[in-house]
Structure 1
Amino acid sequence: MKIATFNINGINGRLPVLLKWLEEAAPDVVCLQELKAQQDNFPLQAIEKAGYGAIWHGQKSWNGVAILARDAEPVETRRGLPGDPEDVQSRYIEAAVGGVLIGNIYLPNGNPAPGPKFDYKLAWFNRLLAHAGELSSIEAPVALVGDYNVMPTALDVYKPERWEGDALFRPEVRSLFKALVDSGWTDAIRTLHPQEQIFTFWDYFRNAWGRNAGLRLDHFLLNPTLARSLRAGNVDRHVRGWPKSSDHAPVWIEVDVEA
């Protein structure tokens, strides 16, 4: 099974990029973030024509997450991260696909830090930790996939010294990511490429793509059952260079689970 994540940064505006990549890469499961589309404005017809079933959690102008499954329909198990009934931001959706439980995450950016947005990010991350603890009791394969808006280590950022005060790299956020990994979840891409500087995001400004001034923000965290079947993974970084593409590139892993 090939599982991918792609912060699409506006699904309707970048639909041609998404469809081209789906045809080229043929992932079995895709987690999309930052749809920037209301619930009734999701391009389901085009997605289905490309051969994918879909569930999605939309929000006007901001956020939004979706799970696509090739030649299948994702079985939704949760919409929204538990722990705060007042939180209406569309940042989490969960489904079973082909015997794997997949949580799709769009963790808050948190800037400027410190401040209310950073406090919300930390609270959301702590809720994710609690939910991950609940999921850890499941014996089936589980993956927590998506845009975590955190660079876990200095290897995941092109110039660490420039990001020390940023909400994506502050020690509080990196500590929470480490706590998640230490609780039994495997960082799939870093496990496969332990010493390689790998990026998944390049800003639109200051020629970041041309200078390869990137960040690794998009992650796969696997429970022990799924981590044992991990075989490959990488970034389709060439997609970032396509016209009108997202500032993120698709990231994927392959696991020995029959789709």
Structure 2
Amino acid sequence: MRIATYNVNGVNGRLQGLLAWLAETRPDIVCLQELKAPAEKFPEGALRRAGYGSVWHGESRWNGVAILARDCDPIQTRRGLPGDRADVQSRYVEAAVNGVIVASLYAPNGNPQPGPKFEFKLRWLERLHAHAAGLLASGHPVALAGDFNIIPEPRDVYAPERWLDDALFHPKVREAYARLLEQGWTDALRARFPDETVYTFWKYWRGALERDAGLRIDHLLLSPDLAPRLKDAGVDRAFRAREGASDHAAVWIELADQRAKRAPG
């Protein structure tokens, strides 16, 4: 099973690139972020013609998340992160696909900090922490996938000294990510590449991609019963170099099939 997360930076404006990526890589499950489209403008038909059923949580102009499943329809289990009825931003959707609970999330950026946007980000991450604990307690295999807008460590960003005042690299934000891992989640990309420099995002300007001046903010976290099935992981950097591409690259994992339980006796 291949699960991918992809901040598309506008699902309709970059639809042809998304469809090309789907056709060439054929992931089984895809978590999309930053749709920048209201619910009624989500390209469900085009994705279904490409072989993918979908659930989505859209918002006009900003945010937006979706889950795609190849040759089947995801079963939505949650729409929106619990814990704050006043939060109407489209940043979280969750679905069951082929025996796995998958969440597509788009955490707040939090800049500028200090300020109300940064405080909202911290509260949102606290709510994510609480909900993630409940998912672990459920006993289901779970993957939390998306643009966390968190740089976990200095090695996850080019020239970390330039990011000290940024909300993506703030100690409180990095601590929130570390607390998620302490719950028992496995950072799949870091597990696959424990010592290498791996980036998932490059700004459009100053030749950032060519200089490899990037950062790692797109993550796939696996629950303890899903992590042992991790076979491989990677970043589809080549697609980031294509004309009109998102400033993020897709991140993917390969999971071994769950072995059937042997009958007693």
TM range (shorter): over 0.9
Larger C-alpha radius of gyration, 1 or 2?
2
Report deviation, 1:154: 0.9
State how many pairs are aligned. Answer: 258
Match of residue 171 from structure 1: 171
Match of residue 251 from structure 2: 251
Match of residue 61 from structure 2: 61
Match of residue 225 from structure 2: 225
Specify the code of the residue in structure 2 equivalent to 1:66. Answer: A
The answer to whether 1:185 aligns with 2:185 is yes
Identity of aligned residues (%): 58
Report deviation, 1:257: 3.1
Specify the code of the residue in structure 2 equivalent to 1:155. Answer: R
The answer to whether 1:153 aligns with 2:163 is no
Report deviation, 1:38: 0.5
Specify the code of the residue in structure 1 equivalent to 2:48. Answer: E
Report deviation, 1:138: 2.0
The answer to whether 1:73 aligns with 2:99 is no
Report deviation, 1:206: 1.9
Structure 2 length as normaliser, TM-score?
A: 0.96
Q: C-alpha separation between the residues in 2 aligned to 1:257 and 1:184?
A: 21
Question: Root-mean-square deviation (CA), in Å?
Answer: 0.7
Match of residue 117 from structure 1: 117
Query: For each residue in 1:216-246, what CA deviation from the matched residue of structure 2 results, as whole angstroms up to 9, or x when unmatched?
Result: 0100111100001111000000110011000
Report deviation, 1:253: 0.2
Q: Matched residue of 2:226: which SS? A: helix
Query: For each residue in 1:114-167, what CA deviation from the matched residue of structure 2 results, as whole angstroms up to 9, or x when unmatched?
Result: 100000000000000000011111222101100000110011101111001100
Match of residue 82 from structure 2: 82
Alignment of structure 1 residues 23-34 onto 2, 5 Å: 23-34=23-34
Specify the code of the residue in structure 1 equivalent to 2:146. Answer: G
Q: Matched residue of 2:85: which SS? A: coil
Match of residue 16 from structure 1: 16
Alignment of structure 1 residues 201-216 onto 2, 5 Å: 201-216=201-216
Q: Matched residue of 1:225: which SS? A: coil
Report deviation, 1:112: 0.4
Q: Matched residue of 1:228: which SS? A: helix
Specify the code of the residue in structure 1 equivalent to 2:155. Answer: L
Match of residue 3 from structure 1: 3
Q: C-alpha separation between the residues in 2 aligned to 1:152 and 1:123?
A: 18
Structure 1 length as normaliser, TM-score?
A: 0.98
Match of residue 96 from structure 1: 96
* Farther-moved stretch of structure 1 (90-99 vs 205-214): 205-214
Report deviation, 1:42: 0.6
Report deviation, 1:99: 0.2
Specify the code of the residue in structure 2 equivalent to 1:255. Answer: L
Q: C-alpha separation between the residues in 2 aligned to 1:43 and 1:173?
A: 33
Ranges in structure 1 where 5+ consecutive residues have no aligned partner: none
Q: Matched residue of 2:61: which SS? A: coil
Query: For each residue in 1:24-48, what CA deviation from the matched residue of structure 2 results, as whole angstroms up to 9, or x when unmatched?
Result: 0000000000000010001111100
